[in-house]
Amino acid sequence: MNILILSAGTRNKVVQYFKKAFAGEGDVIATDMSELAPAIYEADRHYIVPAMRAPGYIDVILDICKKERVDGVLSLIDPELSLLAEHEADFKALGTTVIGSSYELCERTLDKFEMYLWLKAHGWRCAGSWMDKEKFFRAVDAGEVGYPVFVKPARGSASISINKACDKETVELLMNHEEGLMIQEFLNGQEIGADVYIDMISGEVVSIFTKKKIKMRAGETDKAVSFKDEKLFDLIERFVKEAGFRGQIDIDIFDIGGEYYISEVNPRFGGGYPHAYEAGCDHMKLILNNLKGIANEKRIGAYDEGVYMMKYNEVMIMR
């Protein structure tokens, strides 16, 4: 059983965890467009590949799958998820399983406004969002929303180009400065992260890990503590089943006055996943089982509470 991790970047821990799970079972292969991506050196073998949007990129990845007899492939960056899903049939023809959700779902989660429209249409609590600033201003005048709000790219990640606006003038300035921006209601509550695995065979939610975020940095969880709430587990399971996700996903949620609001979904391993793993949720083993044709048993909330995660910087030296 060989697995290919695309766009490994700085996700050293993720590669290390896959190496541990696949030890004696198969090899872990990693790719990146840069020789200075430290995570690729954690793998059994690695490849330097063109940029994801370069012509012929997917053919390069398919060639690696063929050469390395790859059983499963996944990506650690958002834009590549849709590309993998779009070419799922090409990978399947090589005997390679794309570990992830459908093309439609990957595109929906990448576009935050489209995700908002889906959440609203299906009755899930979420932050009000507007692409049209005039509609937003009318909502303010009607008392439906107030300042501050966030102005952010509808299709973006890593908190790039996100700005907080406390008045109409700032919203006007930001919206006129760049295309593709949306206005999003500010949710004032406890931010929560959920690492979830949906079995690729049964379609059942088999693992959920939740943490209260204490501090954020560059769009990722910097410090957090694990906790459990059956009400939240039930909400996550219902949401995931209704949406139809598969494989590993990362959900951002807000607790506002005891009610849970869904903020964003990333259908991949999130930057804070090591917290889940170290607390007892080995999703790499779940992926390995699925690649072997084994459906995983349901073990929601099978982890320790009160486990703190504190990120810190490390270095890799190459000569």
Rounded-to-integer distance, Cα 72 and Cα 291, Å: 7
Residue 197 dihedral angles phi and psi, to the nearest 5°: -120, 125
**What pLDDT is stored for residue 136 in this prediction?**
96
**What pLDDT is stored for residue 156 in this prediction?**
72
Which burial class, exposed, middle or buried, applies to 160 when counting CB atoms under 10 A from its CB (0-12, 13-18, 19+)? exposed
Same fold across 3-98 and 189-310: no
Task: Give the pLDDT confidence of 247-297 residue by residue, as tens digits.
Answer: 999 999 999 999 999 999 999 999 999 999 999 999 999 999 999 999 999
**What pLDDT is stored for residue 161 in this prediction?**
73
Superfamily of domain 128-185: ATP-grasp fold, A domain (3.30.1490.20)
Per-residue pLDDT for 210 more than 90?
Answer: yes
Q: What share of the chain in percent tops pLDDT 90?
A: 93
Residue extents of the structural domains in the chain: 3-98, 128-185, 189-310
CATH code of the region 3-98: 3.40.50.20
**What pLDDT is stored for residue 159 in this prediction?**
59
Per-residue confidence at 22, pLDDT binned at 50, 70, 90?
very high
* Closest by CA position to 31, among listed 68, 167, 274, 319: 68
Task: Give the pLDDT confidence of 146-166 residue by residue, as tens digits.
Answer: 999 999 999 876 556 789 999
Assessment of whether the complete model's pTM goes beyond 0.75:
yes
R_g of the chain computed on alpha carbons = 20
Rounded-to-integer distance, Cα 247 and Cα 126, Å: 23
Per-residue confidence at 76, pLDDT binned at 50, 70, 90?
very high
Q: What share of the chain in percent tops pLDDT 70?
A: 99
> What number is the average pLDDT over the span 299-311?
96
Which tokens in the block code for residue 76?
Answer: 């650690």
> What number is the average pLDDT over the span 178-189?
94
The class of domain 189-310 in CATH terms is alpha beta
